[in-house]
Amino acid sequence: MKVNLIDTTLRDGEQMAGLVFSSSEKIMIAQTLDRAGIYAIEAGIPAMGKDEQHTLQTIASLGLSAPVIAWNRAIIQDIKTSINCGQSWIHVSAPVSDLHINYKLNKSREWVLRQLADSLAYACSFGCRVLAGAEDASRADEEFFLKVAETAANAGAERIRFADTVGCLEPFKTYEIMQNLVKRCPLPIEVHFHNDFGLATVNTVAAIQAGIQFASVTVGGIGERAGNASLEQVVNVLSGLPGWDTGVNRAALPELSGLVAEACNLNSKVHCE
């Protein structure tokens, strides 16, 4: 079965506190990911400012085989900004846990559904391909996640991201949740795991074993806090399990890892791994 990996090194990866990729580094990483056979590249957040918009515009015009995705909050202005810098794949993220809806947004579930539907439909009206993101889905009510998916599907979304925003799932729970969601969700699900307990890769694998066909990863597992599921690890594990194919060329991984490590200025001295 084909497993489609969406690399978010240039978006969530760069959100590792203190990290800045230069424009040329981002372009080079995108090109290298594409050559390695990655399914899609989440390249950044146009709403962050002119520099980022310019970089994303350049990456989107490289003619890569992989779709280049711009990340947006469910805010019309964010999406306008993305469209204005030539983005044709629009990811729209909205929080779906009551914790986030109540304490971060101070809004209601209905507000989230409306905001997401409006933002997706707006992007669609410009002919963009749209993807929905459900932030903090692992701490959300499952029925509400499905409601969000249904709303997103009706607004034109092609896929929904299930984000384990604070990395609080373990593989057995992941397997159980995904087995259920795969059957019931109106959209294909992309899983997105964080590594707070060291379980991002293993959760990704468990989700895939439960029938999920899309997963976000970052090179070297870089990302917020303890990072994300690592592209290299996920590809290596899946290559050892019969029946799955990521389409990523394993021989291209060392170059990619090196490139990103260098751009991160990661200290390559002895450490405990």
Which parts of 226-245 interact with other proteins (CB under 8 A)?
Answer: 226-227, 230, 233, 236-237, 240-241
Q: What SS3 state is found at 70?
A: strand
Residue 115 touching other proteins (CB under 8 A): no
Which parts of 18-47 interact with other proteins (CB under 8 A)?
Answer: 18, 20, 22
Residue 203 touching other proteins (CB under 8 A): yes
Residue closer to other proteins by CB (options 103, 186) is 103
Nearest alpha-carbon partner for 217 in 27, 68, 6 = 6
Residue 82 touching other proteins (CB under 8 A): no
- DSSP track, 192-230: EEB-TTS-HHHHHHHHHHTT--EEEEBGGG--STT-B-B
Instruction: Give the separation between CA 147 and CA 153, rounded to whole angstroms.
Output: 10
Which H or E run includes 114?
helix 109-124
Which H or E run includes 164?
strand 160-164
Residue 54 touching other proteins (CB under 8 A): no
Nearest alpha-carbon partner for 96 in 74, 82, 80, 112 = 112
List the one residue from 202, 207, 217, 219 that touches other proteins (CB under 8 A): 202
Residue 272 touching other proteins (CB under 8 A): yes
Which residues are at the interface with other proteins (CB under 8 A)? 14-18, 20, 22, 48-49, 51, 73, 99-100, 103-104, 136, 165-173, 175, 195-199, 201-203, 205-206, 209, 221-222, 224-227, 230, 233, 236-237, 240-241, 267, 269-273
